[in-house]
Amino acid sequence: MKTRIRAGLVGVVTSMTALATVAAATTVVRGPYLQTPTTASMIVRWRTDLPSSSRVAIGPAPGSLATNYDSLVPVTEHVVPVTGLTPDTLYYYSVGSISGAFVGDDVDHFFRTAPTTGASTPFRIWTIGDAGFTGADLDAVRDTFKAYNGGTSATDLFLLLGDNAYLTGTDMQYQAAVYDEHAEMLRTTPVYSTFGNHERISSQDLAQTGPYYDMFSFPTLGEAGGVGSGTESYYSFDYANVHFIVLDSEDFTPSSASGPMFTWLQSDLAATTADWVIALWHRPPYSRGLFHNSDTELNEVRMRQFVLPALESVGVDLVLCGHSHNYERSFFLDGHYGNGASFTNAFKKDLGDGDPTGDGAYRKADLGPIANSGAVYVVDGSGSEHRNATLAHPAHLVGLLETGSMVIDITGNTLTAQFLSGAGVIDDQFQIVKGSSCAPTPASGCNTAVRGKLTVRENADPARSRWSWKWKGGTIDAADVGDPTAETDVAVCVYDATGTLFGGQVFHGGVAWRTIKRGFEYRDKTLANHGFQKIKIRTGTPSLGAYVQAKAKGVGIGNPALPATTPITAQFLNLDSGKCWSSEFTTTRRNQADRLTAVIP
């Protein structure tokens, strides 16, 4: 049995008989709940009706809790850091006093430490906003997530977007709307929150006083990653390959590109190299809710004018807010800091809907921070009620008048966000995919042609290496190709039996793409995208001369491993719809260390 006593408390002497009496009469009235997960620690909190010492016991399974974390000071608000843990590891636990456990040591009390920082470990987030009204609507939102999540409330992170307990954010209201309502989730899933305007009625963000600050333990010193803020009103943390930034849109809202929160934000953004950046605060930069208009409410205007440029300068990917009691979701946009009337298509990085089953995912060229590469802004404020409104903000693509929550899954280079209604229906979804490499294996079900040719020339001087491919003698439907000049992302990829040889993705828009007769052409003398010099698609039937052609050269094509192993597959793909055109070469005319030629027929 290992026992760790919190520093500074060793000198406290308490009668063991008295403690045993207290333990017998003590009841847990709040929690346990989990805070500030790191790769090596977790904070466990709970409240008791009577003062007692504190103990968290942990172990690999119920009945095997062999390590104790103790505090001898009798308290009713128990805050116990559990340290020295292993990343991405499941621990079972109990809470109680040094005389014995009050609750836990069973299959319902467990937590998992954060994955190694930077790791591409898949994880899930559940987030709700303005979920402070108890009753049937909130119950349904909670229960539909549990059903969607495989019959369990346990997930990786639980994010609260403010106004978590109506009407005034008192301790008693939080007990009902958060700790009683979500007790099952809170004992297994660490929770973070942002400060809302209704929290401000009972608590003070500038002074960090009041029930909100008494009940939460958020990172202030960078202990969970990021730069320490020195305050629980705004802070940051890392989880796997994501950097989270939690801001305060109440009294810390900047009135210029300065002030304590803004200054800290700039330093925190400059320090992150995470694959993903997600920010959250309460008041949305874009909204036309029933009582909240982001064009007229000063805090929303200032967050949009001053905070958004800083976030977008490092390529923020997703911003989550509440405040308006509805669901709104923006286009994939960048650079809009004015009122709604000034919003135009010029601010849209992609004209599509981002739905992998619709227009296709939004895409960014690389993992990690890329300045002004596009972000999605979400108003997720219907956690416990919805209010009828026009929801006509021009920056928004989707507006829903229904209760619900957001489920966000991050798997390596892909972020998938879904709005799960209180009726248990996915009523909106979008996806962001990062990176421009080819998929690891060829697509299936592609259109084929009776003719094809692939040539590769490998040179000792990489700048002189080149390859080309042509597909001809098949049908290319214009609707299947999409429009690469406007919103369709494409890829040209060549594989052999061992994997990808060369090629990559080419995103829509820009001066390199142009419309031609019955098709599109990409030309780039700089060879900036995987060495592509030319990609040409002519739609139609074989009799109309439909074809696909791609040429690439220079160091950007990489170093193809020749000779290749047959079969060799060359493909052109519409990444948004999944439509593809393919040549499969089962034999070669020449297949040497410096040259490859393959022809169909």
Confidence of residue 561 (pLDDT cuts 50, 70, 90): confident
3-state secondary structure of 376: strand
Confidence of residue 76 (pLDDT cuts 50, 70, 90): very high
Q: How many residues does the structure list for the chain?
A: 601
What pLDDT was estimated at residue 25? 78
Q: Which residues, other chains included, contact 410 with Cβ-Cβ below 8 Å and sequence gap of 6+?
A: 122, 123, 124, 125, 240, 241, 242, 276, 416
Helix (H) or strand (E) holding 363: strand 362-364
pLDDT at 3 over 80: no
What pLDDT was estimated at residue 558? 86
Q: What is the pLDDT of residues 269-286, one digit of tens each?
A: 999 999 999 999 999 999
In angstroms, the CA 300 to CA 298 distance is 5
DSSP codes, 433-502: EE--SPPSS--SS-B--SEEEEEEE--SSGGG-EEEEEEESS-B-HHHH--TTTT--EEEEEEETTEEEE
In angstroms, the CA 100 to CA 57 distance is 10
CB atoms within 10 A of CB 170: 19
- Residues 167, 173 contacting (CB under 8 angstroms): yes
Compute the half-sphere exposure of residue 69: CA atoms within 13 Å on the CB side of its CA.
21
Q: What is the pLDDT of residues 514-560, one digit of tens each?
A: 999 999 999 999 999 999 999 999 999 999 999 999 999 999 998 78
In angstroms, the CA 124 to CA 216 distance is 22
pLDDT averaged over every residue in the chain: 95
CB atoms within 10 A of CB 298: 10
Question: Residue 94 is which amino acid?
Answer: S
Q: Which residues, other chains included, contact 436 with Cβ-Cβ below 8 Å and sequence gap of 6+?
A: 363, 365, 366, 504, 505, 506, 507, 529, 530
Task: Give the CA angle between residues 362, 363, 365 to the nearest 5°.
Answer: 165
Whole-structure pTM value = 0.93
Confidence of residue 8 (pLDDT cuts 50, 70, 90): very low
Query: Which residues make beta-bridge pairs with 590?
Result: 597
